[in-house]
A and B are shown apart, each in its own frame.
Chain A
């Protein structure tokens, strides 16, 4: 799986949009971009994933650049409960050993009141 690079930490004011960047310059054509988050002392939670088109769900939006070498996760109105470590992972969406997720260090997002 392609490696990703994320800033170690970010701060965001409550109610404002949080934009979390991720670089994945070695991504392959068949690899998806996945975002998970982990609130302290809990298991990771799936947020969103995409291949090349921008995606939006009830939690967040995912913006992928045209060359697919980077992406941005957007939390439109951050709340204190969004404070967590956010992981950007790229992998193929197929079976076998490709089910594996390789977690990097992620970005610790702290939402401040």
Chain B
């Protein structure tokens, strides 16, 4: 099956700093990727839709200037959490659409802890 990786798997950063999370489709091209956030004991919440070569589409209530998304190639999307605060601590998960299909393949997630 299609494989999606995320890097790093865990990151701890200090409040006020920025952190970048990478999402890669390893064996397929993905024109569309999604970024989700999951707080403890809650379900996944979609943050934004990332399309290769164009600006991301953010869900209502998600600050686009705080969560910067870049999808510069068909195999890589990045999420940068800028000026991180402790309330940004969460599990961030990306998914990718296999080009030519409608199926989403999920990455393993990145655990962000802001101290």
Residues of A within 8 A of B (CB): 36, 38, 41-46, 87, 93-95, 97-106
Contacts and interface: CB of A to CB of B under 8 A. Distances in A.
B104 to A, nearest CB: 6
A100 B44 CA distance: 12
Interface of B: 4, 6, 32, 34, 36, 43-46, 49, 57, 91, 93, 95, 97, 102-109, 111
Given A99-B97, A105-B43, A44 B91 contact: no
Contacts of B32: 99
A24 to B, nearest CB: 16
A interface SS class: loop
Contacts, number: 52
B87 to A, nearest CB: 20
A101 B32 CA distance: 13
Contact of B109 (A43, A94, A98): A43
Nearest to A45: B106
B102 A103 contact: no
Q: Most chain-A Cβ atoms within 10 A of its Cβ — which of B45, B97, B102, B109?
A: B102
A99 B104 contact: yes
A44 B44 contact: yes
B49 A103 contact: no
A46 B105 contact: yes
